């Protein structure tokens, strides 16, 4: 496993190009979010998603959330929600709010479902990174059943031999995970209470 600071990564066109290539080839990186570290790969990469499943020891049928930075990213992963519905959430994002939306067809990260949880992360360095490399998975960096990790040294200890790159952003805030809302139904339903206070 290689380790690089998020500031160094964002400042280097070469490093960003290398990371895009790594994820496109099914590689996995740990990235700092506004809550905990997450495991990132190309959300359309079956190999990358399976590598995360193996690293976490999790149920392979569970969908993975996706982090994005623009409407174009949502279109790329196949989101089909009407613009008016998206406008509602873009008025909130960036925030620790994951919204489940319909997609045109299943992708690797959705694990057979025609819906996908998406979030614009509320941390500027990560948004800059995702703007450069495209949408990525953002499932928590931990072994399934264990607490999510917010310390990069802990990520290196627990998952270092199972991932390709650790993007070091220092200790993340931790606390509650992102709130998850299912917007495939009307009215939307809270699936998980979390760091964002959802008022409907």
- Tens of pLDDT, residues 9-63: 999 999 999 999 999 999 999 999 999 999 999 999 999 999 999 999 988 889 9
- Of 128, 100, 112, 105, the residue nearest 192 (C-alpha): 100
* C-alpha–C-alpha distance, residues 70 and 120, integer Å: 8
Is there a contact between 49 and 57 (Cβ–Cβ < 8 Å)?
Answer: no
Task: Summarize pLDDT for 88-109 with one digit per residue, the tens.
Answer: 999 999 999 999 999 999 999 9
Q: How confident is the model at residue 199 (pLDDT cuts 50, 70, 90)?
A: confident
Range of the domain at 176: 2-192
CATH number, domain with residue 42 = 3.90.870.10
Q: Does 87 reside within a domain?
A: yes
Residue 199 included in any domain: no
Can you say whether the dihedral through the CA atoms of 197, 200, 103, 191 is positive or negative? positive
Q: Looking at the domain assignment, is residue 62 inside a domain? A: yes
| Residues forming beta bridges with residue 181, ordered by sequence position | 99, 190
- Residue 45: inside a domain: yes
Q: Give the pair of three-digit tokens for residue 165.
A: 């790159």
Q: Which two tokens stand for residue 48?
A: 């990358």
The angle subtended at Cα 108 by Cα 107 and Cα 113, nearest 5°, is: 55
């Amino acid at each position: 496993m290689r380790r690089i600071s998020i500031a160094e990564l964002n400042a280097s066109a070469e490093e960003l190009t290398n990371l895009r290539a790594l994820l496109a080839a099914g590689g996995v990186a740990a990235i700092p979010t506004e809550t905990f570290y997450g495991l990132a790969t190309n959300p359309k990469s079956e190999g990358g998603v399976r590598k995360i499943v193996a690293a976490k020891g999790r149920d392979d049928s569970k969908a993975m959330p996706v982090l994005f930075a623009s409407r174009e990213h949502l279109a790329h992963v196949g989101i089909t929600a009407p613009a008016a519905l998206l406008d509602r959430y873009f008025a909130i994002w960036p925030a620790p709010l994951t919204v489940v939306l319909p997609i045109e067809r299943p992708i690797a990260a959705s694990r057979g479902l025609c819906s996908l949880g998406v979030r614009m992360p509320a941390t500027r360095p990560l948004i800059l990174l995702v703007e450069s490399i495209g949408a990525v998975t953002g499932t928590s960096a931990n072994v399934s059943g264990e607490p999510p990790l917010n310390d990069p040294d802990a990520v290196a200890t627990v998952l270092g031999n199972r991932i390709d790159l650790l993007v070091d952003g220092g200790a993340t805030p931790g606390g509650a995970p992102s709130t998850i809302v299912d917007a495939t139904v009307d009215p939307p339903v809270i699936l998980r209470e979390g760091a964002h206070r959802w008022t409907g």
